[in-house]
Structure 1
Amino acid sequence: MTDDARENGRRERPSRTRGERVRAAARTLREPRTASWVADETGVSVKTARKYLDQLVEDSVLRTVERGDQTHYCIDQLMATYREVASLQREHDREELTAALKSIRIQIGDWKETYDVETPGELRASIAELEDEAEIDQRRDVASEWEHLENRLSVVRAALNEYDLVTKRDACSA
């Protein structure tokens, strides 16, 4: 059976091409996955998945990790962070980035005070002492958001630190 025949037998998603489906799935990987896993998720052959995944590796969107005799694909976090910093610098001025940094710090400070903890890990650990399911869910959600904001904090800080350098180099001359 050919790759195309195999793919036609799977459920079709007419709004996206095979490459678009693989690229979309690859950009959401939260842990290293094989080409076979991506193929199953996107309804393409392993050969097709590997083709597009390898292109994303060449484009520094993904990187590979060898585990035993299998190649796993995962997000290239360094390049993703560089792209995010550049995007923030292009979409926001220095004052907006400074305000975002301040807002993040205030929110984290509020959580520290509210829950009397210093880290999201301590907040998660405090769940063991609770019985109220609503409070447990709330603390899990806050811990998750806190971890997200800590990551954002470092990205926004990097965007501010390099703001002058990048905006001067990024300017187009007439």
Structure 2
Amino acid sequence: MSDNTEPSDDHARDAMTRGDRVRAAARTLRTPRSPAWVAEETGVSVKTAQKYLDQLVEDDVLRRIERADRSLYCVDRLMATYREVAALQREHDREELTDVLESMQSEIAAWKATYDVETPGELRASIADVDDPDEVEERREVAADWEHLDDRIPIVRAALNEYDWASDRDVVPV
């Protein structure tokens, strides 16, 4: 391998411990998956995957869902959202969060005016009326960005709504 070559994903994976591989894969589980699926993806035994998945459930990173006669795992979105709200409150002051919220809402308002639509779905549907491939791609990108902002706005709002409450409790006793 030359000095300019990036190490392969397999090499990076081999450098991680079994637990690190399972934990890294588990943090990406948006849809419920079985321990066998995680084991196959991470190159560990099902027993090892089960051990680390159960630890992540105990740590409120994953949720265990019982379906039929088996356990499935996915990211605990509620706890992930709480952690994200706390991170926003710790990393930004109230004015910064207010500015971010205002900027996101302004961007959405501009898209509504530019494309004469009310939702990202309507923007995606408007692609059927467009012949220019560049315009189609632009509308797809704007719709994806809009959906992302729609997901982020409630999180920023929650950080702002509970800013004082969280600040009062985020004090390390001396």
* TM-score normalised according to structure 2 size: 0.87
Q: CA deviation at 1:130?
A: 2.9
Q: For residues 116-147 of structure 1, give each alpha carbon's deviation from its aligned partner in whole angstroms, at most 9, with x where no partner exists.
A: 11111111222233333332222222211111
Give 2:37's aligned residue: 37
| Per-residue CA distance 1:44-103 (angstroms, 9 max, x = gap) | 111111111111111111112233333221111111110000000011111111111111
Unaligned runs of 5+ in 1: 1-9
In the alignment of these two chains, the number of paired residues is 165
Distance 1:86 1:71, change over 3 A: same
Letter in 1 for 2:33: R
1:94 touches 1:160 (CA, 8 Å); kept in 2? yes
Q: Is the 8 A contact 1:81 1:155 kept in 2?
A: yes
Per the alignment, residue 77 of structure 1 pairs with 77
Q: Measured at CA, do residues 68 and 149 of structure 1 come closer, stay the same or move farther in structure 2, by a change above 3 Å?
A: same
Q: SS of 1:65's equivalent?
A: strand
1:18 shift after superposition: 0.7
Partners of 1:49 and 1:119 lie apart in 2 by 41
Partner of 2:157: 157
**Structure 1 range deviating more: 126-135 or 18-27:** 126-135
TM-aligned CA distance change 1:155 to 1:12, over 3 Å:
closer
* Alpha-carbon shift at residue 11 of structure 1 (Å): 8.1
AA of the residue aligned to 1:14:
D
TM-score by length of 1: 0.87
Please say if residues 12 and 43 of structure 1, whose CA atoms lie closer than 8 Å, have aligned partners that are also in contact: no
Question: Is the contact between residue 11 and residue 43 of structure 1 (CA under 8 Å) also seen in structure 2?
Answer: no
Give 5+ residue unaligned stretches, structure 2.
1-9
Q: Which moved more, 1:51-60 or 1:63-72?
A: 63-72
| Helix, strand or coil at the partner of 2:14 | coil
**Percent identity (aligned):** 65
CA, structure 1 residues 64+137, in 2 after alignment: closer, same or farther (shift >3 Å)?
A: farther
TM alignment of 1:32-71, pairs within 5 A = 32-71=32-71
